[in-house]
Amino acid sequence: MPNYRRGFESLRREIHEPELPTEGDLPPWLAGTLIRNGPAQFEVGDQDYNHWFDGHAMLHAFRLENGTVGYRNRFLETKSRQEALDEGEIVRSEFATDPCMSIFGRVMSLFDPKPTDNASINVARLDDQYVALTATPLPVSFDPETLETAGVVDFADDVSVDTSTAHPQIEPETGRTLSYGASFGRQCTYKILGVAPGNATRREVASLDVDRPSYMHSFGMTERYVILSEWPLVVNPLDLLLRGKPFIENFEWTPGRGTRFRILRKSDGEEIATCTADAAFGFHHVNAFERDGAVVCDIVTYPDASIIDDLYLDRLRSDEPTPGTGHLRRYRLPLNGGAASSTVQSDERLELPRIHDGVATARPYQHVYGVGTRETDNFTDQLVKIDAETGAAQTWHESGTYPGEPVFVPAPHGSDEDDGVVLSVVLDPGNEQSFLLVLDAASWSERARATVPHAIPFGFHGQFFGKAGRD
Ligand code: CO
C-alpha cells in the first residue's frame, strides 16, 4: 500500500543544517532562498485538528548559494499555536475545526471572535517584510534567515475584511500587489485590495455587495481586470455569525446556481460583466489574460466541492485514497457577459499549479507546472509540466516518493518561458526523509537533489526569494 500517509503526520523537530548532502549539478546562478509553508502539527493534547488545512504552520527554508543547500525549519509561533500549547487544547477556530466551547464560551466568542493567525498556506514579501499567509487577514511576519516569528502585520489603513486570500497577485507592470477579501455581516461584500510597492497601506480597488458569499481560495487577474470565480459553494452569513459549525462547514453546495464569473475593472472598480457556467469548484487560478474580446481564465477545477471533504485528515489517512488533483480547465469569458465556454486542456491531473511569475502572469503563456497523480489510488505521486494551449504533458516521478508544489525559478537572462529550474520538496517515506529536487524546467529532467534528514509533511505553497531581491 502506498505510504503517502506519512505526509499527514506531525513533525515536531526544528533543525538547522548549514549544508545538506547534495548530489548532481546545482546551477551556479541559483542563489536565494526557497521558503515553504505548510501544516506540521495536527494534534494538541488529546485533541485532533480535523482537516489538512488546520495544522500548525511550519516554515522550511532552503538556502541555495555557491552550489550548496542549507536547510532550516521552524514553527510559526502564532497566537493560535501558543494558546493551544499553553492550554493543552485547541483554542482558536480553524478552517474546519472549532474549539469545544461551552454555551458561555460560544456567547463570549460572538463579542470576542478570535480569528486564527495560523498562517499555514503561503508566504509573500510585503513591502520589506516576509509574511506567512492564510485565509484570515492576519499575515504573520518572520525573519527569512532565522525563520523567527515577529508577529501579525499592522496595516497602516482602516480596511476591514474578515477573510483574505492566501494567493495575492503581483501586477507585472506596476509591482502592485492585489488581494481579494470578503467581509461578512448584515451586508456581505467582496473587496479587491491593492498595495503599492514600498508601502503597507491597502487601498480598495473594487467592492461588490453579495447576499450569499462563495468560498473562493484565489482569484484571476488580467492586465485590466480582476475575476472572481463564484463557485456554487456559498454561505448564509447568519450561519457564520452564529458559529454553530467550523467555518467551511457553514458553506452549502448549491449546483443550481452554476458558476458565476464576476469581471471587475481595476481602473474604476466597475463590474463590467458577469459570465455563467456549469457548477464546478476550484482552489487555484493558474493564470488569466485578455484575447479576442474575452478573458481567458485557466483554473484547476473539480466537478464539485467534495475535494474539500476529501482533504479531512481522517479521510487522507484512511484506506480510501483521494488523488487530491483536478484538471486544467480553460474558461472563455466574453467581455460583454453571458455564457462562458470551457474546455479541459489536458487529461493529465494536477494541483498546486505554478507558472513563470511575472513573465507569464496576465499574458498568453505556455507552461503550467504542478503536482500530479500517476496512480489513481495514490496521492500526488508525480510532477507535471503541461502546455496550457495544447495540453501536451511531461511528467517526473520516482516510485514511492511524493513531490510537493513545483516553484519555477528563472535562469538569469533566459530567453524562453521555461528557461530555468523548478524546485520541489519530495517526500520519501521509505527512507524517512524528504529531499529538495531541482529539475531543469526546459528538459524536465533532474539536475540535483539535496537530502533533508527528516520527513517533511505535505505542504501547500512556497516562494523563491532571489538573492538580489529578485523573486
Ligand atoms: Co492555495
Name the pLDDT band for 111 (thresholds 50, 70, 90). Answer: very low
Query: 93 is written with which cell numbers?
Result: 477556530
Distance 354 CA to ligand 1 centre (A): 11
Distance 217 CA to ligand 1 centre (A): 6
Distance 283 CA to ligand 1 centre (A): 6
| Residue-wise pLDDT tens digits, 7-62 | 999 999 999 999 999 999 999 999 999 999 999 999 999 999 999 999 999 999 99
Query: 449 is written with which cell numbers?
Result: 537533489
Distance 102 CA to ligand 1 centre (A): 33
Mean pLDDT of 108-134: 81
C-alpha dist (Å) from residue 45 to 332, 339, 466: 49, 51, 39
Distance 55 CA to ligand 1 centre (A): 15
Name the pLDDT band for 107 (thresholds 50, 70, 90). Answer: very low
Distance 121 CA to ligand 1 centre (A): 6
Distance 44 CA to ligand 1 centre (A): 24
Distance 311 CA to ligand 1 centre (A): 13
Distance 352 CA to ligand 1 centre (A): 7
Distance 52 CA to ligand 1 centre (A): 12
Distance 66 CA to ligand 1 centre (A): 31
| Residue-wise pLDDT tens digits, 242-272 | 777 899 999 999 999 999 999 999 999 999 9
Tell me, what's the pLDDT at 245? 87
Tell me, what's the pLDDT at 468? 54
Distance 218 CA to ligand 1 centre (A): 7
Distance 364 CA to ligand 1 centre (A): 22
Pick 49 or 186 by higher pLDDT.
49
Distance 219 CA to ligand 1 centre (A): 11
Distance 107 CA to ligand 1 centre (A): 32
Distance 24 CA to ligand 1 centre (A): 31
Distance 134 CA to ligand 1 centre (A): 9
Distance 353 CA to ligand 1 centre (A): 9
Distance 220 CA to ligand 1 centre (A): 13
Tell me, what's the pLDDT at 110? 42
| Residue-wise pLDDT tens digits, 206-236 | 999 999 999 999 999 999 999 999 999 999 9
Q: How confident is the prediction for the chain on average, in pLDDT?
A: 94
Distance 67 CA to ligand 1 centre (A): 30
Distance 351 CA to ligand 1 centre (A): 9
Distance 443 CA to ligand 1 centre (A): 27
Distance 460 CA to ligand 1 centre (A): 6
Distance 328 CA to ligand 1 centre (A): 15
Confidence check: pLDDT of 358 > 80: yes
Domains of the chain, earliest start first: 4-469 (2.130.10)
Return the HEC string of the chain: CCCHHHHHCCCCCCCEECCCCEEECCCCCCCEEEEEEEEEECEECCEECCEHHHCEEEEEEEEEECCEEEEEEEECCCHHHHHHHHHCCCCCECCCCCCCCCHHHHHHHHHCCCECCCCCCEEEEECCEEEEECCCCCCEEECCCCCCEEEECCCCCCCCCCEECCCCEECCCCCCEEEEEEECCCCEEEEEEEECCCCCCCEEEEEEEECCCECCCCCEECCCEEEEEECCEEECHHHHHHCCCCHHHHEEECHHHCEEEEEEECCCCCEEEEEEECCCEEEEEEEEEEECCEEEEEEEEECCCHHHHHCEHHHHCCCCCCCCCEEEEEEEEECCCEECEEEECCCCCEEEEECCCCCCCCCCCCEEEEEECCCCCCCCCEEEEEECCCCCEEEECCCCCEECCCEEEECCCCCCCCCEEEEEEEEEHHHCEEEEEEEECCCCEEEEEEEECCCCCCCCCEEEEECCCCC
DSSP 134-197: -SSS--EEE-TTT--EEEE---SS----SEE-S--EE-TTT--EEEEEEE-SSSEEEEEEEE-T
Distance 245 CA to ligand 1 centre (A): 23
Mean pLDDT of 100-105: 54
Distance 461 CA to ligand 1 centre (A): 7
Distance 165 CA to ligand 1 centre (A): 9
| Residue-wise pLDDT tens digits, 129-172 | 999 999 888 999 999 999 999 999 988 899 999 999 999 999 99
Pick 415 or 470 by higher pLDDT.
415
Distance 122 CA to ligand 1 centre (A): 7
| Residue-wise pLDDT tens digits, 304-313 | 999 999 999 9
Pick 467 or 262 by higher pLDDT.
262
Distance 317 CA to ligand 1 centre (A): 21
Distance 51 CA to ligand 1 centre (A): 14
| Residue-wise pLDDT tens digits, 76-98 | 999 999 999 999 999 888 899 98
Distance 213 CA to ligand 1 centre (A): 19
Distance 325 CA to ligand 1 centre (A): 13
Pick 185 or 115 by higher pLDDT.
185
Strand ranges inside 45-121, DSSP E = 47-48, 56-65, 68-75
Distance 135 CA to ligand 1 centre (A): 10
Name the pLDDT band for 419 (thresholds 50, 70, 90). Answer: very high
| Residue-wise pLDDT tens digits, 315-332 | 999 988 788 999 999 999
